[in-house]
Amino acid sequence: MEGIVQRSAIPKEGYRIFLQGQRKISTLYRFNISYYLVDISHFFLYFYCIVFTDKEKLITIRAIIELPLLCKFPWFDLSWFYLVIPARKNDPNVKPSYCKSLTLPFGNARSFFPLITLLFTTFLHTIGYSQQWINLNPFNQPPGNTLLSVDFIDSLHGWAAGEWGLILHTDDGGQTWEVQQNHTSDAHIIRVDFADAFTGWALGTNGTLLNTIDGGYIWNEENIYVVASPNDLVFINPSKGWLVGSSGLVLHTSDGGQNWEAQSTPLGDSVHFGAITFVDSSNGWVVGSQGTILHTSNGGQDWLLQTSGVDWALRDVDFVDQQNGWIVGTSPDTTGTLRTTDGGQTWQVAGPEGVAIHAASELDAWITARERYVGGLIKHTGDGGQTWEQQASNTENYLNDVVFIDATVGWAVGDRGTIIHTADGGQTWVVQQTRQVSHDMPQGLFVDEQHGWFAEFYPGRIWKTEDSGLSWVIQNEGSGFSFHRIEFVDAVHGWVVGGTSASGPFGLLRTTDGGQSWETISIPPLYRVTFMDSAVGVAGGDTLYRTTDGGRSWQAKGVEPELRFGVNDIHFVDDQNGWAVGGSVDALDAGVILNTKNGGETWQVQEREVGAILRGVFFSDLNHGCAVGFGPFCGGVIMTTDDGGQTWEYHYPSCPWLNDVFFLDASTGWAVGDYGFACLTEDSGATWTRVETQTHADLGSIVFVENKRIGYIFGEDNTLLKYDRGTSSVQPDPPIIPSAFILDQNYPNPFNPVTTIRFGLPDAVRTRLLVYDLLGREVAHLVDRDMTAGYHQVIWDGRTASGREVPTGLYIARLVTPEFTKSIKMVLLK
Size (the chain), residues: 830
Q: Residue 279, Cα to own-chain centre: how many angstroms?
A: 34
pLDDT of residue 499: 65
Phi-psi group of 496: left, alpha or beta (phi > 0 → left; psi -120 to 50 → alpha; rest → beta): beta
Q: DSSP of 213-235, one letter per residue?
A: SSTTSS-EEEP---SS-EEEEEE
In DSSP notation, 672-733 reads EESTT-EEEESSTTSS-EE---S--SPEEEEEEETTTTEEEEEETTTEEEEEETTT-S-PPP
Determine the 3-state secondary structure of 736 from DSSP: coil
Q: Are the CB atoms for 297 and 344 separated by under 8 Å?
A: no
134: exposed, middle or buried (C-beta count within 10 Å: 0-12, 13-18, 19+)? middle
292-324 pLDDT, tens per residue? 999 999 999 999 999 999 999 999 999 999 999
- What CA–CA distance (Å, rounded) separates 675 from 695? 8
Q: Which residues contact 800 (CB under 8 A, 6 or more apart)?
A: 779, 780, 806
- Give the Cβ contact number of residue 110 at 10 Å: 12
For the chain, domains (ranges, CATH) are 7-127 (no CATH), 142-152+159-165+187-404 (2.130.10.10), 558-691 (2.120.10.30), 742-828 (2.60.40.4070)
Q: Which helix (H) or strand (E) holds 422?
A: strand 419-422
Low-confidence ranges of the chain (pLDDT < 70): 1-132, 140-143, 183, 185-186, 223, 225-227, 435-441, 458-459, 477-481, 499-506, 560-565, 584-590, 632-634, 726-736
In a 13 Å sphere around the CA of 232, the CA atoms on its Cβ side amount to: 22
- 595 residue type, one letter: N
pTM of the model: 0.55
Distance between CA atoms of residues 411 and 123, nearest Å:
44
Residues 247-252: contacts with CB under 8 Å, at least 24 apart = 247/272, 248/272, 248/273, 249/273, 250/276, 250/286, 250/300, 250/303, 251/224, 251/226, 252/299, 252/300
Kindly write down the DSSP assignment for every residue of 65-110, as one continuous string. EE--HHHH-TTS--S-EEEEEESSTT-TT--GGGS--B--SSS-HH
At residue 705, what is the residue type?
A: V
Residue type, 679: C
721 contacts 134 by C-beta, under 8 angstroms: yes
User: Three-state SS for 126?
Assistant: helix
Q: How far apart are CA 622 and CA 574, in angstroms?
A: 9
DSSP string, 524-543: S-EEEEEESSSS-EEEEESS
The pLDDT tens digits for 94-153 are 333 222 222 223 233 333 333 333 233 222 232 334 446 887 877 766 667 889 999 999
Closest CA to 19 of 39, 38, 47: 47
